[in-house]
Structure 1
Amino acid sequence: MHARGLGTRTIAIAAACGFGSVDAAAASRDRVVLAIPAERLDLTLRQLATQTGQQILFDPATTGRRRTAALHGPIDPDRALRTLLAGTGLVAKRVRAGVIIIVAAPPARVPQARIEVVPPDAEIVVTALKRPTTLGDTEISMDAVTGAQVQMRGAYDLRSAAALLPGLVPIATAPLQQRIAIRGVSGTGESTVGLYYGETPISGPSGTTFDPAASTPDVDLVDVDRIELLRGPQGTLYGASSMGGTLRVLFNQPDATRWSGHVDAGVSAVQGGGIGGNLAAVVNAPIVQDTLAARIVVHRRTVGGYVDNALLGVKDTGGVLRQGVRLGLAWTPSPSLRIDTLALHQDTRIDDAGFWYPDLGRYRNDQPVRTPNRERLDLASVTAHWTTGALAVVATGSHYRWTIVKQGDFTQVLARQATSTASCARHVALTGGAGCTPAQRSAFQAYLQTRLPGLLYQPFRVESSTAEVRVSSDRTGVLGWTIGGFVERRRDSAESYTVRADAATGLRIVPLDITGLRLLHSALDQQAAFAETNWGVTSRLTATLGLRYFHYTRTAYGSVPIPNIITGTGAIGTDRYARADDGTNLKAELAYRLPGETLVYAIAAEGFRPGGVNITPDLSDQERSYDADHVWSYELGAKTRLASDRLALEGALYHIDWADTIYAAWSANGAFGYNRNIGTVRIDGVEAKAVLSIGAVRLTGSANYTDARLGEDQPVDTTDGAGRRGDPLPNVPRLAYAMGVQTSVPVAGGKVATFGVDAVGATRVRTAFNDRSTYYAVTPARFVIDANADIRLAQWRAGIGVRNLLNAVGANRLTSSAFGTRQLYSSAPRTVMLSLDRDF
């Protein structure tokens, strides 16, 4: 695969830094079954990269029209590469684990500044299809960014990384929490986007509203190898909760060939807000040369707050602290076996709500309580890769525990019950009376005032164990296949305290002054078997068929140790409810490779999410449960490279039929949320992306148009009102777009300077189905520009970045409910970031 956009001079500079030639001690000892015919060198290098899962970068002018011999059978990747380069006058240089550049053999070593080698987008090797392919040759709509790109752009979480991944839409739901959507497939319940850290799928806790999708784990993006975004249903290979797509965050693996390390430090300042900073250290340690290695990552990051609460007299709230540690071990006891382990821990805290009220002015809040939130994520996984001459076996086992302590303002919900006859009657019943006379109502209202201001204090916890085994063919013939099985055992618990806060400080009173307490427990058990096959019908036409069978069981129950007479939680019984279902997901695809570098594909694919039960007061038997929802997606896409491979274009058209859509509804008093099926949704969309390299300048542009609408009238109100056929799905932007320019140039003293500007935007969105909703509003359009620059000398890098250069509002979501109206989550004001890092 060749380094489009990296000139000959750039490659030579990178090779002259003394990274060392590729040899048997410097690369993986695993043998790979290769099937590479005698061909031009550039084509054989691309095949070698795909079949070995490495990045092999080169300039087409360097390889020219040289030809090589064929390679067949099991062979060490180092030896294969040396064989291909023999007699060409070219050498391979290893930049880092998995990244190799091909250059002319230098006559001498000349110290130069190091340029971070970033492969062109089309040439990134990905494993989205559970096998290595280059991004430009992967037969689905997807994007990938390397860890080097993440670092250069200053991205550190999913919200900032979304600017690099067209089509990924993070939607704020609460402090520290967000829902992620792809192609407009967004709803409550289980996530519509499968999120993987390494080989582990992670779901949020169900909470009190049985909405795991509202909480997306956000691990700090330190020492990342790449991020892959798969658009459209991935139900065959990835299963439940990938009905809109899949997001994979893949960390750098331990390298048993050499010691290395990285230290990164930075400081940031928010205009009109607080100061932040970050510190991270990475150490890669070969414990047994070429056999056993460890990789340790330690990180801490603070982000300054910028929201002022005049009512409580506090400034610059909404500051975030993220800190954690990660340990990876890689053991290669034989050329055919590799075992990877990962242990991850992260604590995240926010000191207050993080949203503000536009009606009060920019970044101002008058919430009567303070709502700090915190999270703790612990994850452990083991993955074994075993290869034979004909098969590849991957087995993964994972366990994680995710604890969220959520606090939310409950004052308005409680205060609204002052005129509730039902609440008054419950208060009267405490003394053995009945009814609600004017005198009794006054007594109830006096009691209610003693419980204000009020907040919800909710510790949530989810624990999950998953295992997957898949077996694949060597994929060197006309027929390739993968079969496998997956199991998950997930357990959730939620404690929901209604407590009183101190009116002066806004903080919850300790020990807790409890108004009510309810406990909820749920479980989800899933099993699946899947198979996918790829058949090379001709040298240009490939057919893919996939099938996944699934079965799940959802159970839930609750109890109320302390009834809240104001909102009526005592109506929750202690019965245990269960829901089970099974079914299949199908996938069919045709991909055709035109002469040159053009790929055209057509896909029809299914996806689903499990249904469940609601543990909510005063529900009917019909409302107590909800069905699984399901999508059929039809997509036509193309990818091509033109103008001597300096221009890459790709696009897709898609239509999605979404049946039994799961969406949120609220109780009449606005205190309790639950899930229901609202019928059908129709989604039509277009995606386009272009990358143009002109010398050392790289231009990118993308646009995603999504038209998501209800397919039928809703019989009753939901949290977003009573929808009618044709109403747009709330909080889904019709158009989202991104533009960027990046360049690197040598400067005096052997240094290299890199400059970049990125702009992202989206059209305004409705916050409810239509203006008949009590809480209808419009989230404004957003347009945010970021800029970055850095200078590199040998192993050092110093950088400066400016987030939100124009100091725009950058609205993410305007939300209204019984808890509060017109609460705006937005980008931070203009933020300046300085960084300094060094490789070892």
Structure 2
Amino acid sequence: MKNYPSWLSKQQEGHVAGIRKLSGGLLAASILGAGGWTSPLYAQADPRAGQPAASDEESRSSTIVVTARRREERIQDVPIAITAVPAQEIFDRGAADLRDLQYSIPGLNIVSLSPGADRIILRGVDPGSGTGLPIVGIYVDDVGISVDQQQRDPPFPLVDIARVEVLRGPQGTTYGQGSVAGTIRYITQEPNLQRATGYALGNVYSQQHGEVGYRVNGAVGVPLIEDKLGLRLVGGHERYAGWIDYTVPKIEDANRVERTFGRARLLWQPTPAGRVSLMYQYVDQKTDTNNLSDLNSNTINSKLPSLAPSSDKSHLINLSVDVDIGGVTLTSATGYQHRHNLIVGVIPSPPIVINFDTVYKQFSQEVRLASNDASAPISWVVGAWYRDFDSEVDRTATIFGGPFPPLARQGDDPVDSESKAVFGDATWRPSPKLELSGGLRYYWDTRESAGRSNGTALPTSRASFDAFSPRVNMLYRFTDSISVYATAAKGFRSGGFNGGSGSAYGPEKLWSYEVGTKAALLDNRLFFELAGYYVDYKNRQSQGVVLINGVNFTETTNGGKASGPGIEGALTARLPAGFGIDLTAAYNKVEYDRTTQDTNSGEPFDYVPKFTASASLHQRIALSERTAAYWRADYQHASSSFSITRANTCSAATGICMPGTTTENYKLAPQDLVNLRAGVQFGQFDLSADVFNVFNEDAETFLFSPVAVFDQATRIRPRSYGLTLRVNFD
């Protein structure tokens, strides 16, 4: 093997070269199998954020303003289930990315396949393991960043973030494609046009059974022209410590991740009625290998001798223009994303080197008009959206060994997609207590794929998909701070094509029906929300087995139907003496209603716990005017979940495969995670110590069966001890 990727270390190059000499009983077909290519898994991120302290004592019990409906509103006035996590809480929880917040947000569950390859599940609606589009829309400010391949959204560090908004339930009317189960919005910090602000953060931690990790990041914002023009720069570097030891070849702490990132945001406000925001973000992530370890073992070793170093670089540009034209705001949101992901997989017997080389390019444009007065008898928003998406997925497997020269198997799966939508949403307030809302989005998508296999062109596949996505809401206020709401909404996920065969699969649809209540009491010191919902999920996209020319192919198919109820709630209380309590809980019972190619009726979705909960107790103690001590304890729980693998029976006459006997019904154990943190803030300095995973919980979070004789799993990261110093320059 020559011409290693330039980012491979000398040690890794040695491992790749040496792997050719290894032998064993692994089957090459497990990686190259007729139906598809497996994707490696990676180290989990360390849960420590680099976040500036908020100027106020922000918390969820404060009056939080969100823009979930494309206009500013108090969170208790929005008739949908939404959680907003502000900057201070992100820092207080030590959250490095969304996975560290998952159980503190009701209904959110994340199965970590890799940094930038998360399986995001909302309200039990699982995207499955096929090649379909994401089922949860991911937005940075006003621009969507989800790519047309699920579990491949770019890594997004929670650094210098104003807040994270999680909208649960279908958001097709306002956010469109990719928002079948909900939408997640990262709202970045704006430049301050009046004064210079900034911070610097350093963190170091020691991991049990592993190495030392660290992170450094910071931000600086300056007004270039007071009240007119401002710039904010953000940057950092992180090392996520490895902790998994390979036995063949012998490598300690093999699953290290290094990440460098930067962000620049320019804000221009030429007049009080107009503003322009330009943001650029760059992320460069290098991963040594996956974070798999042996199943049903107390060891953190990996006996499977495979390496999977990867490189992931992404560029994101976001240009937003807002103009107040007299009671109405005209908004233009333009986005461009370029991402290059390279994975090098290496296995022995016979020695095989596999390259997954993927380039994503995405351009989007949205224009909308929105009324300004959210309390007027009628408020509304209308708009149009366009997106052009291109991806090139090149796969090469080179087999070494034996009396023959190296044999390469190649294939590529380019996908071109052009999507358009028009949408509108209006709210009528017949009285100060009652709001009635309705919205509609029409979406159409044209997709094309023309792949190659070993130099031979495959037939070009083309298809168009379209859908109407309606939503209706009702909100009734008993008082200014207590309300109830009801909503019904439809979600839609477009169809697509399978790599290799080029066969198409159709779109899927989901209806969600929800009732809930929200209350902000005692001068916002007590906030309570409760929601119940029912999901009706049809034509679900999932992996199934099809028979083509006598060969079983694992492909994305349709036909699944699922439904079920759920309930979720949250309570936040700010008590005397600086104490605070945060509680969340969610129960979900969405199950399959029909036996299909890959499911049996009555089975749950993979990796979806029926019950999740979190509890936080914290206190802040003022020691002087400029000095305070604080501590917090966080607990997260997830009940057991399942990973079900079946033996399929295929008919040679019809080519239809149906699930046979269950070959593996693996029950993942419940998870109970406890984190502690304590610190002191003195003037502009903040020094804290923390313990992650106090009781060293090692529950499995994901099951991986690369070959018949090896079952492996990812686990919760081991216990670690860390120190963090933050300096504010406000």
Pairwise TM-score range, normalised by the shorter structure = 0.7 to 0.9
Equivalent residue for 2:3? none
User: Is 1:626 equivalent to 2:525 in the alignment?
Assistant: no
| Cα drift, residue 711 of structure 1 | 1.3
Aligned partner of 1:263: which letter?
A
Give the 5 Å matches for 1:247-258: 247-258=184-195
> In 1, Cα distance between the equivalents of 2:562 and 2:635?
31
Aligned partner of 1:364: which letter?
N
What's the CA shift string for 1:207-253, capped at 9, x where partnerless?
Answer: xxxxx112232211111100000000000000011010000011101
Unpaired stretches in structure 2, ≥5 consecutive residues:
1-50, 648-660
Q: What is the TM-score with the length of structure 1 in the denominator?
A: 0.75
What's the CA shift string for 1:436-467, capped at 9, x where partnerless?
Answer: xxxxxxxxxxxxx5xx1324310111110000
What's the CA shift string for 1:467-519, capped at 9, x where partnerless?
Answer: 0011011224200000001100000111111124799xxxxxxxx95531111
Aligned to 1:533, the other structure's residue is in SS state strand
User: Is 1:829 equivalent to 2:718 in the alignment?
Assistant: yes
Contact 2:645 2:663 in 1 (8 A): no
Contact 2:498 2:504 in 1 (8 A): yes
Aligned partner of 1:481: which letter?
W
What's the CA shift string for 1:131-163, capped at 9, x where partnerless?
Answer: 111222222101011111111221111211324
> In 2, Cα distance between the equivalents of 1:836 and 1:116?
19
What's the CA shift string for 1:381-430, capped at 9, x where partnerless?
Answer: 1000111321011111110011111234666xxxxxxxxxxxxxxxxxxx
| Cα drift, residue 625 of structure 1 | 1.1
User: Is 1:710 equivalent to 2:710 in the alignment?
Assistant: no
Which is richer in helix?
A: 1
What's the CA shift string for 1:505-559, capped at 9, x where partnerless?
Answer: xxxxxxx955311111111111000000010021101000000011101111111
Which is richer in strand?
A: 2
Aligned to 1:806, the other structure's residue is in SS state coil
**Which of 655, 659, 674 matches 1:785?**
674
Q: What is the TM-score with the length of structure 2 in the denominator?
A: 0.86
Equivalent residue for 2:97? 157
> In 1, Cα distance between the equivalents of 2:645 and 2:70?
39
| Cα drift, residue 744 of structure 1 | 0.3
User: Is 1:492 equivalent to 2:391 in the alignment?
Assistant: yes
For the structure 1 residues 678 and 326, does the alpha-carbon distance in structure 2 shift closer, same or farther, using more than 3 Å as the test?
same
Which structure is richer in relative contact order (CA contacts within 8 A, separation 6 or more)? 2
Give the 5 Å matches for 1:323-342: 323-342=260-279
User: Is 1:239 equivalent to 2:171 in the alignment?
Assistant: no
For the structure 1 residues 338 and 749, does the alpha-carbon distance in structure 2 shift closer, same or farther, using more than 3 Å as the test?
closer
Aligned to 2:717, the other structure's residue is in SS state coil
Aligned partner of 2:442: which letter?
Y
| Cα drift, residue 354 of structure 1 | 1.1
For the structure 1 residues 117 and 748, does the alpha-carbon distance in structure 2 shift closer, same or farther, using more than 3 Å as the test?
closer
| Cα drift, residue 643 of structure 1 | 5.3
Unpaired stretches in structure 1, ≥5 consecutive residues:
1-95, 100-114, 207-211, 412-448, 504-511, 563-571
Coordinate RMSD, CA, aligned: 2.4
**Which of 296, 306, 318 matches 1:369?**
306
| Cα drift, residue 199 of structure 1 | 1.4
User: Is 1:544 equivalent to 2:481 in the alignment?
Assistant: no
User: Is 1:581 equivalent to 2:465 in the alignment?
Assistant: yes
> In 2, Cα distance between the equivalents of 1:682 and 1:828?
33
Aligned partner of 2:453: which letter?
V
**Which of 144, 148, 152 matches 1:201?**
144
> In 2, Cα distance between the equivalents of 1:254 and 1:98?
15
User: Is 1:177 equivalent to 2:144 in the alignment?
Assistant: no
Contact 1:330 1:340 in 2 (8 A): yes
> In 1, Cα distance between the equivalents of 2:615 and 2:438?
36
| Cα drift, residue 785 of structure 1 | 0.7
Aligned partner of 2:82: which letter?
M
| Cα drift, residue 198 of structure 1 | 1.6
> In 2, Cα distance between the equivalents of 1:161 and 1:644?
26
Aligned partner of 1:726: which letter?
G
> In 2, Cα distance between the equivalents of 1:781 and 1:409?
33
Equivalent residue for 1:807? 696
For the structure 1 residues 331 and 735, does the alpha-carbon distance in structure 2 shift closer, same or farther, using more than 3 Å as the test?
same
Equivalent residue for 1:439? none
User: Is 1:304 equivalent to 2:186 in the alignment?
Assistant: no
User: Is 1:610 equivalent to 2:610 in the alignment?
Assistant: no
For the structure 1 residues 137 and 501, does the alpha-carbon distance in structure 2 shift closer, same or farther, using more than 3 Å as the test?
farther
> In 2, Cα distance between the equivalents of 1:819 and 1:471?
56
Equivalent residue for 1:743? 619
What's the CA shift string for 1:723-765, capped at 9, x where partnerless?
Answer: 2211111111111111111110023695201111111111111
For the structure 1 residues 773 and 800, does the alpha-carbon distance in structure 2 shift closer, same or farther, using more than 3 Å as the test?
same
What's the CA shift string for 1:158-207, capped at 9, x where partnerless?
Answer: 21132442322111235752111101111241111000112111123x5x
What's the CA shift string for 1:336-376, capped at 9, x where partnerless?
Answer: 11000000000112111111113443311012221112211
| Cα drift, residue 261 of structure 1 | 1.5
> In 2, Cα distance between the equivalents of 1:713 and 1:97?
51
For the structure 1 residues 820 and 194, does the alpha-carbon distance in structure 2 shift closer, same or farther, using more than 3 Å as the test?
farther
What's the CA shift string for 1:657-686, capped at 9, x where partnerless?
Answer: 111100023567999642100331113110
> In 2, Cα distance between the equivalents of 1:737 and 1:770?
31
Aligned to 2:293, the other structure's residue is in SS state coil
User: Is 1:698 equivalent to 2:596 in the alignment?
Assistant: no
For the structure 1 residues 770 and 496, does the alpha-carbon distance in structure 2 shift closer, same or farther, using more than 3 Å as the test?
closer
Higher-Rg member (1/2): 1
User: Is 1:167 equivalent to 2:46 in the alignment?
Assistant: no
> In 1, Cα distance between the equivalents of 2:184 and 2:400?
39
Contact 1:293 1:329 in 2 (8 A): yes
Equivalent residue for 1:29? none
For the structure 1 residues 671 and 161, does the alpha-carbon distance in structure 2 shift closer, same or farther, using more than 3 Å as the test?
farther
Contact 1:745 1:752 in 2 (8 A): yes
> In 2, Cα distance between the equivalents of 1:671 and 1:165?
40
Equivalent residue for 1:535? 428
> In 1, Cα distance between the equivalents of 2:678 and 2:568?
29
Equivalent residue for 1:88? none
Equivalent residue for 1:464? 362
Equivalent residue for 2:285? 348
Equivalent residue for 1:52? none
Contact 1:122 1:134 in 2 (8 A): no
Contact 2:53 2:87 in 1 (8 A): no
> In 1, Cα distance between the equivalents of 2:453 and 2:523?
69
